Structure 1
Amino acid sequence: MKVNVISAKGLETNLNVVIDKKDLEKKIDQRLDEVKKDINLKGFRPGKAPKELLKKQFGQALQGEVLEKVLQDTTVEVLKNKKIKPASQPKINIKSFGENKNLEFDIIVEKFPEIKNLDVKKLKIKKYTVKSEKKDVEERLKMLAENSKKYLDKDKTSLAKNGDLVIFDYEALIDGKEFENNKGKNIQIILGKDLFIPGFDKQLVGSKKDDKVNVTVNLPQNFPNKELVGKKALFKCDINNIKYSVDQPINDEFAKNFGVKDLNELNKNIESQISNEYQNITSQIEKKEILDELNKQVSVELPKSLLNDEINNITQSFKFEKLQKNKKEKDINKINLDEDEKKQALSLAKRRVKLALALNKIGDENNIKVENFELENELNSQLRNYPGQENNIREYYKKNPNEYLKLKGPLFENKVINFIKKNAKITEANITKEQLKKLFSSPDTSETKQKKTKTQTSKKRSSKK
């Protein structure tokens, strides 16, 4: 085998490979020896037919099979010997192949760039701490008390008002006609909260037990049957009961309902809970600042193949968002991005690819890997969000192993981020709730503050940054 470098410019290398026809013939003969025992040829016992006859009859098919394997194996060997780590699938151009001909082909490959001077220990990051305030605990206690209110039956002649609990059955019609799931039994709503259907509550104010009330509303955006969204519906309601609320005193007895001994312990639990909630937010901010710092420090040529793939992924995500908002157009291929959106997609793609390269380098240098049990735990965590659909989702991943492997992206990213947090130069920062809100809402270049994408197609090569 002869290998020559035709050109090497930037990240792209063009290699020419020549394999002697004799070596190719040997591989074809070896493959023929492997399969001849299974070939049944009329007039010969299995495995006893002359090789030349078999080659004449099956040689062309074997040639194609051997060619595919030789191209694959040789490409891997050549790139390994040349110490080229491909950023994407190499392109193969066959220049010569056939009977009594050498196999000659070109390998066009784009390699991963070398990232220099990336020292995690020199990264400067902040660790934020937010202490819960007394008024936060008090507000949470009031909310618990509100949700723990007891409701007692009203007198039959008493009229319903805001704050009352109304229990009713209904039958809904659109243009006088029934539709799927148009009936409900013993529905409970608290008047004034407007949580059932916007505008529904106020039409029950003034009703009393055993009344029949007609309520007219437009079906909301989150109505399950999307074809009926926005249509005017008549709800024929039978009022079963009306209850008034009794304020829940906040004391030790109230606290015991939550498994603690007294109100003081409940206050401490709430304080801890609020602090944990703040910690989830500060972790997001810290992660974003780490990625921002990496984005600033890393200056490297980006592989065009990865960049183009990421641009396509983001473009499709942006198009999908626009399609969701466009009530007239239903074909995503007819949705176009304006110039600002194209620039945004390019900027975001560059950031994602650069950060993916940086995180992969840190992971490789420090032997950070996602273990199989971690991948399975992540899948189980996701399945808990879809009760009743677990088997269907598992079957989907079983039939689509590449989709299953995409779960690795966020797991790997988080492991690298945690490694950075442990090894970088940390500055402790105690901040208030107001400062936290300001940090979380501040403009940045992260896609979490730009267009939020709903697809996860980009996880194949770079997880979301």
Structure 2
Amino acid sequence: MQITETTNQGLKRGYKLTIPAADIDGRITAELKKIAPTVRMPGFRPGKVPANLLRKMHGEQLHAQAVQETIREAVDGLIKDKALRPAMQPRVALGEGYAEGRDAELSVDLEVLPQVTAPSTEGLTIERLVVPVTDAEVDEALARIAGQNKSYTDAKKGRKAAAGDQLIIDFVGRTGGVEFEGGKAEGAALVLGSGTFIPGFEEQLTGVRAGDRKTIAVTFPADYPAKELAGKNAEFDVTVQAVKVEGEGQVDDDFAKNLGLESLEQLRGLVRGQLEQETNGLTRTQMKRALLDQLAAGHDFDVPEQMVEAEFEQIWTQLEQEAAKSEDPEAAKREIEAEREDYRRIAVRRVRLGLLLSEIGQANNIQVSSQEMQMLMQQAAQQYRPEDRERFLQFVQNEPMAAAQLRAPLYEDKVVDFLFDKAEITTREVTREELEAAIEADEDSGSQPEKAPGKKAKKNSAPEAAPAAAKKGGKKAAAKVEAESRPGDAAVQPENKKSRKKPAAPSA
């Protein structure tokens, strides 16, 4: 095989490979010898079919197979001979005009990983901001739980239903006088004013009494999930079985027992633990951001464009999904379009951080064990329907890239935890508001390397910061916070040497 280098610029490499026709033909001949003893043809004894007839029968298929295998081996050999470290799968093209009997000319283009020296783990300093959980916060959380687990008791006889009351109803829906699927129920609970049924349904039941029968006329929204009903007029015959009023929510032992617990004390302990877990997650976000900022500020090197493009596409897909869910999708889309280059710079940062963490992990022998990988696969498989889980597991086992993407977040966390252990950490007690402000703060320290010209760049915060960002900046802000500091999945890894049908009505 003849190798000619065509490109050597930065991280880009290009090669022209010439594979002699004799090499391909030799592979075909060897394969014909393998299959000859098994071929049966009328007029010939088993294993005695002439080679020219075998080639005529199977030559085209064997030639295609030989070319494919030769190309794969040639590219593997190129990578080994030139000691290349591909950033992503090389682009391989067979020269135009190739035909059997001719030399095969291949063009191989790829980007290689940059030579990155593992950063020193000495001298890292991180301030840990911690938020103590107070009794008042536990009380507030219990009040919210009580509000989400309201109890209702029968109203006084003859009471007219008002907003906040619960109705127990039977209903039958019709369009054009014909009942439709999903439009019938018995004993359905409906809280007036909850907005859980289609527009106009609940309002027409205000003032009803237990035992009343009423026919309600409504129009299904144009964007109703059941397309056969979208935009159509409908009538519902409703029978009110009962009118109930909200009971007084007492947070006591009985309330805890209704939730399946032994006592209020146990419930308070669980709530406190959840609040602590949440604030601990925010603290980790703040620490991780500070750590990544230190790494990013101290390293600036070229990164493969293909990896950047893959990261950017991942970020952009998330942004577009969030924009589509916003109140004004078109305005949200225009807003993110105006900041496209900012997000591309974020993609560069993510890839660079990923490569840095990968080098640190390899230099310190940090690994994801086979047992941990099996656990990751089983957890990921739970997102699929039971009948699809085994197929998903087989896919991950057979696709190295899929396994790498699954492994990357855990590998990243293990490297980050390793760096936390090496860092000098000081602790400061703050309020939750101060912690969230620290996570979302505008850049004051100058540690953000990819600052957009003319703009004050956001400090980078880790994925766990998204809930905090959502509170103040909305879904788009949450997406940007996550994008800015999350190292790229493709880089953060050791280098390898149910669908339920919604009821048709009357739910909104």
TM-score, reference length from structure 1: 0.76
Other structure's SS at 1:180 match: strand
Other structure's SS at 2:429 match: strand
Change (3 A) 1:121 1:250: same
Change (3 A) 1:338 1:55: same
- The amino acid across from 2:417 in the alignment is K
Instruction: Identify the range of structure 1 (352-361 vs 219-228) with the bigger mean alpha-carbon deviation.
Output: 219-228
Identify unmatched segments of 5+ residues in structure 1: 330-334
- The amino acid across from 1:271 in the alignment is R
Match of 1:184 in 2: 185
Cα separation, 2, equivalents of 1:93 and 1:249: 72
Q: Is the 8 A contact 2:376 2:406 kept in 1?
A: no
Other structure's SS at 2:181 match: coil
State the Cα deviation string for residues 308-367 of structure 1 (Å, max 9, x = none): 3444555555556666779999xxxxx999852542553343334334433443444444
1:74 matched to 2:74: yes
How does 1:258-407 map onto structure 2 within 5 Å? 263-314=264-315, 340=338, 342-371=340-369, 373-382=371-380, 384=382, 389-392=385-388, 394-395=390-391, 398=394, 406=402
Cα separation, 1, equivalents of 2:232 and 2:298: 54
State the Cα deviation string for residues 350-385 of structure 1 (Å, max 9, x = none): 334334433443444444454555455345445656
Q: Is the 8 A contact 2:396 2:402 kept in 1?
A: no
Other structure's SS at 2:182 match: coil
Change (3 A) 1:22 1:217: closer
Change (3 A) 1:220 1:376: farther
Offset at residue 252 of structure 1 (A)? 4.5
1:414 matched to 2:380: no
How does 1:62-141 map onto structure 2 within 5 Å? 62-92=62-92, 105-141=106-142
Instruction: Identify the range of structure 1 (103-112 vs 270-279) with the bigger mean alpha-carbon deviation.
Output: 103-112
Match of 1:332 in 2: none
Offset at residue 201 of structure 1 (A)? 4.6
Q: Is the 8 A contact 2:121 2:419 kept in 1?
A: yes
Q: Is the 8 A contact 1:175 1:233 kept in 2?
A: yes
- The amino acid across from 1:187 in the alignment is A
Q: Is the 8 A contact 1:93 1:106 kept in 2?
A: yes
Cα separation, 1, equivalents of 2:127 and 2:405: 24
Offset at residue 39 of structure 1 (A)? 3.3
Match of 1:430 in 2: 429
CA RMSD of aligned residues (A): 4.5
Match of 2:39 in 1: 39
Cα separation, 2, equivalents of 1:326 and 1:398: 40
Cα separation, 2, equivalents of 1:428 and 1:177: 68
Change (3 A) 1:246 1:64: closer
Cα separation, 2, equivalents of 1:296 and 1:226: 53
Other structure's SS at 2:185 match: strand
Cα separation, 2, equivalents of 1:212 and 1:133: 51
Offset at residue 418 of structure 1 (A)? 3.4
- The amino acid across from 2:39 in the alignment is I
- Report the number of matched residues: 452
State the Cα deviation string for residues 134-172 of structure 1 (Å, max 9, x = none): 221112233344455553323322223344332112233
Offset at residue 242 of structure 1 (A)? 1.7
- The amino acid across from 1:70 in the alignment is T
Cα separation, 2, equivalents of 1:209 and 1:216: 20
Change (3 A) 1:81 1:285: same
Cα separation, 2, equivalents of 1:308 and 1:400: 23
Offset at residue 303 of structure 1 (A)? 1.7
Offset at residue 10 of structure 1 (A)? 1.0
Identify unmatched segments of 5+ residues in structure 2: 442-457, 467-475, 481-486, 493-508
State the Cα deviation string for residues 9-61 of structure 1 (Å, max 9, x = none): 21122334455666555544433322322334565433334556756776665
- The amino acid across from 2:437 in the alignment is K
- The amino acid across from 1:343 in the alignment is E
- The amino acid across from 1:415 in the alignment is Y
Other structure's SS at 1:187 match: strand
Cα separation, 1, equivalents of 2:304 and 2:419: 29
State the Cα deviation string for residues 78-106 of structure 1 (Å, max 9, x = none): 21122101123324455698788766545
Cα separation, 2, equivalents of 1:307 and 1:327: 29
Q: Is the 8 A contact 1:194 1:200 kept in 2?
A: no
Change (3 A) 1:375 1:101: same
Other structure's SS at 2:8 match: strand
Cα separation, 1, equivalents of 2:213 and 2:391: 49
Offset at residue 219 of structure 1 (A)? 4.8
Match of 2:446 in 1: none
Offset at residue 209 of structure 1 (A)? 0.9
State the Cα deviation string for residues 268-297 of structure 1 (Å, max 9, x = none): 332222212323344444445544544444
Q: Is the 8 A contact 1:370 1:408 kept in 2?
A: no
Q: Is the 8 A contact 2:3 2:15 kept in 1?
A: yes
Instruction: Identify the range of structure 1 (40-49 vs 205-214) with the bigger mean alpha-carbon deviation.
Output: 40-49
Change (3 A) 1:294 1:12: same
Instruction: Identify the range of structure 1 (116-125 vs 83-92) with the bigger mean alpha-carbon deviation.
Output: 116-125
Offset at residue 210 of structure 1 (A)? 0.5
Change (3 A) 1:222 1:285: farther
